[in-house]
Structure 1
Amino acid sequence: MTDPGGLFRHAGFRRLWTADLLSQFGDRITVLALPLLAATTLGASAFEVASLRTVQTLAYLVLGLQAGAWCDRIRLRPLLIGTDLGRAIAFGSVPLAAAFGVLTLGQLFGVVAVAGVLAVFFEVGHQTYLPRLIDRGRLIEGNARLQANTSVAAVAAPSAAGFLVQYFGGPFALGLNALSFLWSAGWLGRIRQAERVPRPENQAPLLKQIREGLAFVHRHPLLRPLAETTALGSLSQSFMLAISVVFLLDEIHLTPGQIGLISSTGLLGAVTGALVGQRLAAWIGEARCLWLSGLVLAFGYVLVASTTTGAGVLCYPIGNFLAAGAITVFNILQVSFQQAVTPENLRGRVNATMRFTIFGMAPLGSLLAGIVAETAGTRASLWIAAAGLTLAGLRLLCSPMRRLRRLPDAYVAGDPGSRSA
């Protein structure tokens, strides 16, 4: 940890980090470019835009747990490369169809369905691959650097996507997304470090292996409330992700470029969270950081839901700043703790279980957001998101986490506070 270069001196991690940055940036361009393309070019309704998000995340609900069991058995670098190449082909079909004048909303649904399946394996494999690449003692540093990619992409890419859609069109933006996946695959292909694949003790049936991952999370006194918190939080966040573009277009009357700009104003919060998250955890404790970040995230969404025209539009960037910073800190600590306390032969399944709780709820949230938006308006969806995240933050506050300062290094049955000093 005294090495000023940190993990960037590790060639394998440096290439993984670069590939991840490119992949995350391309993926986040899609988050804004896709609904803008559907709403402004193809005339999709609020429900249809929300349904795109539902289809995109549905694969986590269907395949999320199986993906974890498979990832525990195989080499992951070829899997990551293959999923990047597959997504490049899927998204590359959009500008090609647009160039021939045959792009339809149906094709967009097909593209996001394929990309969603590939994203499941990339996300689960990505988290499982990191502990095979670096030492356990550097997991927090590694996750902090990777989470910085996610956070920066989440708030910087929308700005680029908004202006790309406004001045070059949605198909062009998705074409750049396809190129980012190709470039990511190239960097992953340059990793030369041998992958440490754990030898399975037995080849138990797939269903039994899935149950083992679920059981480990269910029995753990801290992973269980974390899983429940993230499930409720994901359900709530999907309301905003599914409907925020339509809200800003129809109710706040912003242009695509302005939407991109206002969506990226959380960049400072995300970068700040990535930079100070580790130090903040060392100062006040990882456990306190987790439940505090959950409450700050909820408050950020309250501000987003309060956005109005005129001066009230400032609620959106302020809320984005708070939410982006809180999500960054929360994810760094949650993922690092999860990786550290999970036995190596269970990491893929536990990663998949936790990802399942996050993304498995997303299609349900997106679908409900579309229904609420059609019947009660887009603002009602945002207020439901704020209420749900408030309940998620309170769930963690009411768990054993509240009595701890530090998170334990390992699971000790009946003693979640072994490092509660």
Structure 2
Amino acid sequence: MTTLAGVPAPARSGGLHRHRDFRLLWAGQAVSAVGSNVTAVALPLVAVAVLDASTFQVAVLTAAAWLPWLLVGLPAGAWVDRVRRRPVMIVCDLVSAALFLSVPAAALLDLLTVGHLLVVALGAGLARVFFETADQVYLPVLLRPEEVPEGNAKLHATQTASYLVGPGLAGLIAQLAGAVTAVLLDALSFLVSALCLGRIRAVEPRPGRSDDPTSLRREVLDGLRFVVRDPYLRVLTVFGAASNIGLTGYQAVLVVFLVRSAELPAGLVGVLIGLASVGGLVGAALATRLARRLGSARALLLAALLTGPPALLIPLAGPGPRVLWLVLGGALVSLGVAVGNVVKGSFRQTYTPHRLLGRVTVSMQLLNYGTIPLAAVAAGALGAAWGPAGAIRLMTAGLALTPLILLIGPLRRRRDLPATPA
């Protein structure tokens, strides 16, 4: 076995816990993920509690964070395939830190507006496009192919744990010191991530560059064609897009629903959203084991079943004991999402030729993530017309039907996903 640079890779005892560079990547992303999930609750709380924003404005705030995937996703993937990825990730962390630091600074000067929050969400979303694309391509540089599933499982388990810790921490900080202070924590987390990335020692080989000014467009089309023509990536892309419409749709108005309809205090809102994510922690821990025991294709189908129908429990949430429906439904949905993301992420990273990985990643994410701002705006419009509860009912009903998409492709006939394209 050799690394990408052609250097023989000795067997590693103790797993990835003894891999110094992976530990640094893991630690940085863990801290950053907690900070980002603090902000996922804190920013809408700032809009609602500090600026008295409407339901539609809060939904547009969510849309702004995901809109860059539609605007620059494809050229970003082609560009990332041309450069070293670690410097890109460090710059994205520093830009995000500066953007989120501007929120408490503006609040201190009494200059904070909903427009300012929208600019911050849009700018941080733009940085996220480049960071996540580079990150997907960088992991196979650090790890051998057989280590990639374990690396993805560890990173996703940490990401899922942040869904539990981040919202609860956001609610606690918002209760004690105000929602604006919670945003400051996210800014600091990006600085920690940049520091960890800066300490990685592995030398990343420089990708080949083209002097042809028209090659960028051709490279973008190469990535799109690969996804469109591949029966596995194609169906997974459509399923991911449909799932994200339902997931983002109900999540975009969930904070407004819990604060204004269920009349829950900010601290409890964060705790409930965190508890609803606990299933994801279990799912990330079990994903590789399920894929080995059931087969990776069957594990994906099981994950889809857990992601879809249990979402119908979420609209049953209400004041008092009825909030437990949110926790139960959310826990099952997050369990399915975690298993699916680990299996799909590892499959894409090992199945796709590495020279195309950045372009294939953003080609899939263009549809996967590009539907998110549209879903958030649609949920906001529905929430304004029918109330947050009506919007959540419609979005979860759509999410419950999404597993049927996976039955269209070749997945239903296989135990395991293929290792290489046909």
User: Would you say same fold, with TM above 0.5?
Assistant: yes
Contact kept in structure 1, 2:241 and 2:368, CA below 8 Å: yes
How far residue 7 of structure 1 moved from its aligned partner, in angstroms, is 1.0
CA distance in structure 2 between the partners assigned to 1:199 and 1:120 by the alignment = 22
**Counterpart position of 1:213:** 223
**Counterpart position of 1:94:** 103
Letter in 1 for 2:78: A
Matched, 1:167 2:193: no
1:164-189 Cα distance to aligned partner (Å, 9 max, x none)? 11221111111111000001100000
Letter in 2 for 1:325: L
CA distance in structure 2 between the partners assigned to 1:296 and 1:2 by the alignment = 36
CA distance in structure 2 between the partners assigned to 1:153 and 1:335 by the alignment = 18
**Counterpart position of 2:238:** 228
Matched, 1:190 2:194: no
**Counterpart position of 1:275:** 285
**Counterpart position of 2:5:** none
Out of 34, 43, 51, which is 1:34 matched to?
43
The 5 Å alignment of 1:282-321 reads 282-321=292-331
1:45-68 Cα distance to aligned partner (Å, 9 max, x none)? 000000111111111110111110
How far residue 138 of structure 1 moved from its aligned partner, in angstroms, is 1.0
Structure 2 residue matching 1:124: 3-state secondary structure: helix
Tell me which moved more, 223-232 or 145-154.
145-154
When residues 281 and 202 of structure 1 are mapped into structure 2, their CA distance, relative to the original with a 3 A threshold, is farther
Letter in 1 for 2:157: A
Q: How many residues align?
A: 412
Letter in 2 for 1:353: S
**Counterpart position of 2:263:** 253
Out of 115, 121, 127, which is 1:112 matched to?
121
Structure 2 residue matching 1:49: 3-state secondary structure: helix
How far residue 231 of structure 1 moved from its aligned partner, in angstroms, is 0.7
Out of 355, 360, 376, which is 1:345 matched to?
355
CA distance in structure 2 between the partners assigned to 1:2 and 1:141 by the alignment = 15
**Counterpart position of 1:418:** none
CA distance in structure 1 between the partners assigned to 2:64 and 2:339 by the alignment = 28
Cα RMSD (Å) of the superposition? 1.6
How far residue 148 of structure 1 moved from its aligned partner, in angstroms, is 1.0
**Counterpart position of 1:362:** 372
**Counterpart position of 1:23:** 32
Structure 1 residue matching 2:304: 3-state secondary structure: helix
**Counterpart position of 1:416:** none
CA distance in structure 1 between the partners assigned to 2:181 and 2:146 by the alignment = 42
Matched, 1:70 2:79: yes
Out of 10, 19, 26, which is 2:19 matched to?
10
**Counterpart position of 1:80:** 89
Structure 2 residue matching 1:265: 3-state secondary structure: helix
Could you list the runs of 5+ residues in structure 2 that have no partner in the other structure?
Answer: 1-9
**Counterpart position of 1:417:** none
**Counterpart position of 2:65:** 56
Structure 1 residue matching 2:402: 3-state secondary structure: helix
